[in-house]
Amino acid sequence: MAATDTGDANRAGAGSAGGELEAELARLLAVESFDPPAGFTPRQPEQADARDAAADPVGFWAAKARELLSWDKPFTRVLDDTNPPFYRWFDDGELNVSANCLDRHVAAGLGERVAYHWRGEEGERRDVTYAELLADTQKLANGLLSLGVAAGDVVGIYLPMIPEVAVAMLACARIGAVHNVVFGGFAPSAVRERMEVSDAKVLITVDGARRKGRTAAVKAGVDEEMADLPKLEHVVVVRSTGPVGGVETAMRAGRDVWYDELLAAADPVCPPAPLGAEHPLFILYSSGSTAKPKGILHTTGGYLLGATYTHRAVFDLDPETDVYWCSADVGWITGHSYIVYGPLSNGVTSVMYEGAPDYPDFDIWWQLIAEYKVTIFYTAPTAIRACIKWGAEYPARHDLSSLRVLGSVGEPINPKAWLWYHEVIGGGRCPIVDTWWQTETGSIMISPIPGITSTKPGSATRPLPGITPALLTEDGEPLAEGTGVLVITSPWPSMLRTLYRDDERFVQTYFSRFGPRTYLVGDAARLDADGYFWIIGRIDDVINVSGHRLSTAEVESALVSHEAVAEAAVVAQADADTGQAIVAFVTLRGDQVGDDDMIAELRDHVAHRIGKLARPRRVIWAEDLPKTRSGKIMRRLLRDVAEGRELGDVTTLRDPSVMAALAAKVATAP
């Protein structure tokens, strides 16, 4: 059944009449497919793109690269696919990402346009224009050069959501340094690991970070972990906590420099370096099947094209009139592509918000949308589910009629959350784009086009122009319909180029199962009769907690690094709020007692080693773990007990009685 939704700008107000809203959502749950809202007129000729891309995908990308990006030296070669999976795009062309994000807009007379309406969590405001961003970027770029950073060197960035994070990324791009951003929620020891394996020369960080009214020292933690990194020559420190009570920050002479002093001393002019299109732009570490994070490497031309094109197409963007807000953190790929590079390359005005969605109150997001007249809002299903829990009365306090397009990313969105987003936030008149992609893909791959694609709640719908996903059986046979393994069958410009300094793991992880021309995504999906993709979830040992990718092996290795732990196995359990939650089965050493204090201690230990987001939701004491005769832990069985399912076949276990004992434990565990 298809429903044509005429929309009603005031429908969000129905939130106060809770019963009515519930009834409406229950009715809509039966609707399978939503036509584009009648009042919505798309701005971009996307159907033409789809036609062009189907006829000649490589030619389509070449045309987009010429239309959307400014090149210092035009490319003559579009795709070099002679050595798969090491593809090269536009590789004899030269350009600079920061010049595309800043200089060209300022040169076009848009210097006074606001790039970011920044809001601090205590309500501070800063409007940063494109001209100001360009000025600071040039100074920091010169500052980095003065610290000895050269093209190809790695610069770590460990910053909260403040405009300086964009300046830091752009300053690297300006001189060809490779940035390596670490999410501010990761612990300093995780930062250390990422700096060490990438041989970072400089780290840009902050004195302290604020969260819900409290300030935590950041630089002090960095010092503790990074005192002895031989390759790390300098630490640049942003003074961020000033107005609400600064934190004591020790500076080591010769190594540490204040960001503001570095900028004040720097020459204001730093011409953008013309860089080859395949020059590395950044590394972003992401979780994989082993405890060692993968350094996903993106390069200059193809990545910028992917971010720029998809940001326009998927959000129906008009840089002249839209106000755009992506609520992600810049430390994830979503922040890289859709807070920094896509929006700036397109020259739009964005909102950047430092704080949490529930501080000072549950309506802060909606207050900001009303105040800045945000037209495009991009968030994650887990955030929407939290908002549902807090109640529709919070959005109902504010005028959300400026919104035109709503986006979702990070995990499958359940139809109930989709409908609430559609009705309560979008007033029924805003198309929802459920965008499927990954750190590896660099930019959005499967998504509706607003005003063109009919949407089905829970489906990311169809591939974007130029993208060729397919479903395969376990044996590699293509499926026209049904459930299978998701792959992408031809290269695209913003694909990862390798894993940093680990070509072998790159080939092994993504291009060995089905050959060097078929990218293995790592997700299972279903394809329906209309050609719509429904992402099911990961097929590897990666857990998705609130849209954050975590590796079971990484959490296990953090747990066993605690002296009381003999062995640990970590699995995911379905969770109504966070999508998945971490359950840890832990065997303690003989003399240790598994009590509540120990649970708290292990959770703290994981927070310290990786970050709070990796703390197990549940810790279950296991005298023994289910193992095959060859000693392999059977995580499938652990998932079954954690989720309270009937146990499958246990006959392959060395000791089948282990499972009954565990099931009894789980039944009584908190």
Binder among 316, 434, 554, 556 for ligand WTA (CB under 6 A): 434
Which of 349/435 has CB closer to ligand WTA? 435
**Among 24-32, 95-103, 327-335, 590-598, the segment contacting ligand WTA (CB under 6 A):** 327-335
Binder among 79, 305, 333, 369 for ligand WTA (CB under 6 A): 333
Binder among 100, 138, 286, 552 for ligand WTA (CB under 6 A): 286
User: Which tokens hold the place of 225?
Assistant: 């972990």
- Non-local (6+) Cβ contacts of 585 within 8 A are 568, 569, 570, 571, 620, 622, 625, 638, 662
Beta carbon of residue 447, minimum distance to ligand WTA (angstroms, whole number): 8
Question: By C-alpha distance, which of 138, 150, 147, 226 is closest to 187?
Answer: 226
Binder among 15, 93, 347, 412 for ligand WTA (CB under 6 A): 412
- Rounded to whole angstroms, the Cα distance separating 385 from 406 reads 15
Which of 425/625 has CB closer to ligand WTA? 425
- Non-local (6+) Cβ contacts of 351 within 8 A are 116, 117, 118, 119, 323, 324, 325, 368, 372, 374
**Among 10-18, 229-237, 431-439, 602-610, the segment contacting ligand WTA (CB under 6 A):** 431-439
Question: Is residue 301 at the binding interface for ligand WTA, with CB under 6 A as the rule?
Answer: no
**Among 27-35, 405-413, 574-582, 586-594, the segment contacting ligand WTA (CB under 6 A):** 405-413
Residue list 507-526, contact with ligand WTA (CB under 6 A): 522-523
Binder among 15, 188, 410, 594 for ligand WTA (CB under 6 A): 410
Which of 121/434 has CB closer to ligand WTA? 434
DSSP code per residue over 202-241: EEEEESEEEETTEEEESHHHHHHHHTT-TT--EEEEE---
Beta carbon of residue 458, minimum distance to ligand WTA (angstroms, whole number): 9
Which of 203/488 has CB closer to ligand WTA? 488
- Determine the angle formed by the axes of helices 300-314 and 57-68, rounding to 10 degrees: 90
**Among 228-236, 248-256, 472-480, 536-544, the segment contacting ligand WTA (CB under 6 A):** 536-544
Angstrom CA distances, 574 to 132, 410, 545, stand at 45, 15, 10
Which of 455/544 has CB closer to ligand WTA? 544
Binder among 436, 506, 585, 621 for ligand WTA (CB under 6 A): 436
- Rounded to whole angstroms, the Cα distance separating 106 from 70 reads 13
Which of 391/458 has CB closer to ligand WTA? 458
Beta carbon of residue 67, minimum distance to ligand WTA (angstroms, whole number): 25
Question: Is residue 409 at the binding interface for ligand WTA, with CB under 6 A as the rule?
Answer: yes
Binder among 129, 439, 454, 498 for ligand WTA (CB under 6 A): 439
Query: In the chain, how many H helices and how many E strands?
Result: 22, 33
Q: Three-class SS of residue 517?
A: coil
Which of 192/336 has CB closer to ligand WTA? 336
Binder among 290, 367, 401, 438 for ligand WTA (CB under 6 A): 438
Beta carbon of residue 629, minimum distance to ligand WTA (angstroms, whole number): 32
- Rounded to whole angstroms, the Cα distance separating 520 from 511 reads 6
**Among 41-49, 66-74, 329-337, 423-431, the segment contacting ligand WTA (CB under 6 A):** 329-337
**Among 56-64, 183-191, 229-237, 434-442, the segment contacting ligand WTA (CB under 6 A):** 434-442
Binding mask 465-504 for ligand WTA (x = CB under 6 A): ----------------------------------------
Beta carbon of residue 486, minimum distance to ligand WTA (angstroms, whole number): 8
Angle made by CA atoms 254, 227, 239, in degrees to the nearest 5:
60
Binder among 129, 138, 299, 334 for ligand WTA (CB under 6 A): 334
Question: Is residue 442 at the binding interface for ligand WTA, with CB under 6 A as the rule?
Answer: no
Binder among 64, 194, 497, 538 for ligand WTA (CB under 6 A): 538
**Among 248-256, 273-281, 428-436, 598-606, the segment contacting ligand WTA (CB under 6 A):** 428-436
Question: Residue 360, preceding bond cis, omega within 30 degrees?
Answer: yes
Per rule CB under 6 A, count of chain residues that contact ligand WTA: 22
Question: By C-alpha distance, which of 232, 259, 234, 69 is closest to 165?
Answer: 259
For the chain, the 3-state helix, strand and coil shares in percent, each to the nearest 5, are 35, 25, 40
Residue 331 burial (C-beta neighbours within 10 Å; 0-12, 13-18, 19+)? buried
Cα 518 → chain centroid? 23
Q: Phi first, then psi: give them for residue 255, nearest 5 degrees.
A: -110, -45
Beta carbon of residue 344, minimum distance to ligand WTA (angstroms, whole number): 19
Give kind and range of the element (H or E) at residue 95.
strand 94-95
Which of 158/332 has CB closer to ligand WTA? 332
HSE, side-chain direction, 13 A CA sphere, residue 469: 30
Binder among 134, 460, 520, 545 for ligand WTA (CB under 6 A): 460
DSSP code per residue over 155-176: EEE---SSHHHHHHHHHHHHHT
Angle made by CA atoms 316, 319, 320, in degrees to the nearest 5:
120
Q: Phi first, then psi: give them for residue 466, nearest 5 degrees.
A: 85, 0
Residue list 345-374, contact with ligand WTA (CB under 6 A): none
Which of 100/286 has CB closer to ligand WTA? 286
Question: Is residue 315 at the binding interface for ligand WTA, with CB under 6 A as the rule?
Answer: no
Beta carbon of residue 240, minimum distance to ligand WTA (angstroms, whole number): 26
Quick one: DSSP state of residue 82?
A: S
Place of tokens 């709070």: 612
Beta carbon of residue 438, minimum distance to ligand WTA (angstroms, whole number): 4
> Cβ distance 314 to 43 under 8 Å?
no
Beta carbon of residue 84, minimum distance to ligand WTA (angstroms, whole number): 22
Which of 521/599 has CB closer to ligand WTA? 521
Which of 221/288 has CB closer to ligand WTA? 288
Which of 345/439 has CB closer to ligand WTA? 439
Which of 346/439 has CB closer to ligand WTA? 439
User: Which tokens hold the place of 486?
Assistant: 């998701």
Rg over alpha carbons for the chain, rounded to the nearest Å, is: 25
Residue list 539-568, contact with ligand WTA (CB under 6 A): 544, 549
- Determine the angle formed by the axes of helices 635-642 and 657-668, rounding to 10 degrees: 30
- Determine the angle formed by the axes of helices 46-55 and 57-68, rounding to 10 degrees: 130
User: Which tokens hold the place of 230?
Assistant: 């031989």
> Cβ distance 6 to 38 under 8 Å?
yes
> Cβ distance 155 to 201 under 8 Å?
yes
Binding site for ligand WTA (CB under 6 A): 286, 332-334, 409-412, 434-439, 460, 522-523, 535, 537-538, 544, 549
